[in-house]
């Protein structure tokens, strides 16, 4: 059944940028095309912005911030608006999911059941949280009151990736708006449509014009001027480690804005000798690597299996991969759509070829599946020196490595520049505690792949993260400054 026409019927796509609460053209008038990666069709033309548009968006955000229309509200008033925005997102779930699926190649069913609901959930959670938080009074002599308060930083810039376009926007704007900031969003050039529509819904919900602006275009023309802007107080980013490093340079060379980076990963699942039910584990781990085409920063792209369970792990992973349904992302049964772009496909297939040439064994897949589709791929006999063990592939490709002992398995898991997430399988409660502590990762799932929930902080150790965490109340630290107010009572 081809259901594409049902979802796309009556779909109207944005064609401008969003500044001061309305759609507008970019200053220079340049446009770029955004495509459906399944068939290469152009689905929309969007402004290719430059530094003058960045200035306009930042000026709008600054004016809104200074005026107090949002930053000066009672937290409960912001809560009501953000909860209304969450409601509007769910009222428009089919429209948003269709845009997201068409633009990013993400399966429509995932978009409707995960991405859009989680986006609404995130914004609601931060909105709900804000009027339940208290500031602090520090110990002092009776002659003084020492208040420790949190204030919004001011203007926040958010530079986003293409793998979870709506959800990553929510992870940034949820806490940034809840804490009273104004925001300028630069979505990834591959996937800008839903960011624009979300900004429009925000205004409909009651977010005042200028508080949330979205400007489209490319990294060097839009991302860099935001990173270097003298009037941006904080920059939050999700994407590659290489680009993340640049934002630290931009900040150092401009106004020392706060920088928070969520970057790449090479997360491992460690399966110890006493792990129970390998078929179940393989089912979980197939989702941990193949879900969202492997275009997921916490994807468990490595499995380190103890030699006692290694053969069964490879066999069961192979079976799980074979059952994965790859195809048109607009088909409701599709589990994996196309990779996001030609460039990304070339990167993934190139690393797969490198894996073969360096001696890893293809247990399943290893090839494209037509267009930008890629077969779920399982590599066995992967060793620590191979590129597919070290480099982030960001595709549906898992590397399975044998460990002689439990200790070696943990050591191999940590043999990476990254430290975003890890998974550990064992029946021993003491091994679970001991090794969860030894794994160098921001999130460790035990006996299940986990990214935590909206309530738990998310971010990376080592080259996977810098400067703070997304999610949970911990995310609010990114978007607030701590201020001490010392009141002398003797006067």
Q: Which residues are catalytic?
A: 262
Which of residues 103, 110, 331, 406 is near Mg ion by CB under 5 A? 103
Binding-residue pattern over the window 393 to 432 for ligand NAD, x denoting contact by CB under 6 A: -x--------------------------------------
Q: Which residues contact 141 (CB under 8 A, 6 or more apart)?
A: none
As a whole number of angstroms, the longest Cα–Cα distance in the chain is 79
Using CB under 6 A as the binding rule, whether residue 292 contacts ligand NAD is answered as no
Nearer to Mg ion, 190 or 471 (CB): 190
Number of shown-chain residues binding ligand NAD (CB under 6 A): 27
* Calpha distance 188→162 (Å, rounded): 5
Using CB under 5 A as the binding rule, whether residue 295 contacts Mg ion is answered as no
Binding-residue pattern over the window 237 to 266 for ligand NAD, x denoting contact by CB under 6 A: -xxx--x--x---------------xxx--
* Calpha distance 45→195 (Å, rounded): 14
What DSSP letter does each residue of 189-216 carry, written as one string? TTS-HHHHHHHHHHHHHTPPTTSEEE--
Shortest distance, position 45 Cβ to Mg ion, whole Å: 12
Using CB under 5 A as the binding rule, whether residue 163 contacts Mg ion is answered as no
Choose the stretch contacting ligand NAD; rule: CB under 6 A; options: 93-101, 128-136, 160-168, 444-452.
160-168
Nearer to ligand NAD, 71 or 119 (CB): 119
**What are the start-end ranges of the E strands in 240-357?**
258-262, 268-271, 302-306
Coil, strand, or helix at residue 73? coil
- Give the Cα-Cα-Cα angle 59, 474, 230 (nearest 5 degrees): 25
Using CB under 5 A as the binding rule, whether residue 477 contacts Mg ion is answered as no
* Calpha distance 352→288 (Å, rounded): 18
Coil, strand, or helix at residue 315? helix
Nearer to ligand NAD, 180 or 442 (CB): 442
Shortest distance, position 238 Cβ to ligand NAD, whole Å: 5
DSSP conformational letter for 132: T
Site for Mg ion in 165-204 (CB under 5 A): 190
Q: Minimal CA–CA distance to 326: which of 363, 371, 389, 277? A: 371
Q: Pick from Mg ion, ligand NAD, none: which does 220 bind, CB < 5 to 8 A by kind?
A: ligand NAD
Shortest distance, position 367 Cβ to Mg ion, whole Å: 24
Q: Minimal CA–CA distance to 153: which of 90, 61, 77, 221? A: 61
Which of residues 20, 392, 440, 470 is near ligand NAD by CB under 6 A? 392
Using CB under 6 A as the binding rule, whether residue 344 contacts ligand NAD is answered as yes
Shortest distance, position 243 Cβ to ligand NAD, whole Å: 3
CB 449 within 8 A of CB 300: yes
Shortest distance, position 31 Cβ to Mg ion, whole Å: 14
């Amino acid at each position: 059944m081809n259901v594409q026409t049902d979802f796309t019927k009556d779909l109207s796509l944005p064609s401008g940028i969003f500044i001061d609460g309305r759609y507008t053209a970019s200053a220079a008038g340049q446009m770029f095309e955004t495509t459906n990666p399944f068939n290469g069709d152009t689905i929309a033309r969007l402004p290719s912005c430059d530094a003058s548009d960045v200035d306009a968006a930042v000026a709008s955000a600054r004016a809104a911030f200074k005026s107090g229309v949002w930053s000066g509200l009672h937290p409960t008033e912001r809560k009501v608006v953000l909860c209304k925005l969450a409601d509007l997102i769910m009222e428009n779930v089919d429209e948003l999911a269709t845009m997201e699926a068409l633009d990013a190649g993400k399966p429509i069913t995932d978009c409707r059941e995960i991405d859009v609901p989680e986006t609404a959930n995130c914004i609601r959670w931060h909105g709900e949280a804000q009027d339940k938080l208290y500031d602090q009074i520090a110990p002092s002599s009776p002659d003084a009151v020492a208040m420790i308060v949190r204030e919004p930083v001011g203007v926040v810039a958010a530079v986003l990736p293409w793998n979870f376009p709506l959800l990553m926007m929510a992870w940034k704007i949820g806490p940034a708006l809840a804490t009273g900031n104004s925001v300028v969003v630069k979505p990834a050039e591959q996937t800008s449509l839903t960011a624009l529509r979300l900004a429009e819904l925000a205004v409909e919900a009651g977010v005042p014009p200028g508080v949330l602006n979205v400007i489209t275009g490319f990294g060097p023309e839009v991302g860099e001027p935001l990173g270097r802007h003298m009037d941006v107080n904080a920059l939050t980013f999700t994407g590659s480690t290489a680009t993340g490093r640049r934002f630290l340079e931009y900040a150092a060379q401009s106004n020392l804005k706060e920088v928070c980076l969520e970057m790449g990963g090479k997360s491992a699942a460690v399966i110890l000798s006493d792990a129970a039910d390998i078929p179940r584990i393989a089912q979980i781990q197939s989702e941990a690597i193949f879900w969202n085409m492997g275009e997921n920063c916490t994807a468990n792209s490595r499995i380190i299996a103890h030699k006692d369970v290694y053969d069964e792990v490879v066999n069961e992973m192979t079976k799980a991969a074979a059952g994965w349904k790859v195809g048109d992302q607009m088909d409701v049964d599709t589990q994996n759509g196309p990779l996001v772009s030609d460039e990304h496909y070339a990167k993934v297939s190139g690393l797969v070829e490198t894996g073969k040439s360096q001696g890893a064994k293809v247990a399943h897949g290893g090839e494209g599946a037509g267009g930008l589709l890629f077969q779920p791929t399982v590599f066995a006999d992967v060793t620590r020196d191979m590129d597919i063990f070290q480099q982030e592939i960001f595709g549906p490709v898992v590397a399975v490595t044998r460990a002689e002992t439990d200790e070696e398995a943990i050591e191999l898991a940590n043999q990476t520049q990254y430290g975003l997430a890890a998974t550990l399988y064992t029946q021993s409660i003491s091994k679970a505690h001991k090794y969860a502590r030894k794994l160098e990762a921001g999130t460790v799932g035990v006996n299940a792949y986990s990214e935590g929930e909206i309530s738990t902080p998310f971010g990376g150790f080592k080259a996977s993260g810098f400067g703070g965490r997304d999610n949970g109340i911990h995310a609010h630290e990114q978007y607030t400054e701590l201020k001490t107010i010392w009141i002398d009572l003797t006067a």
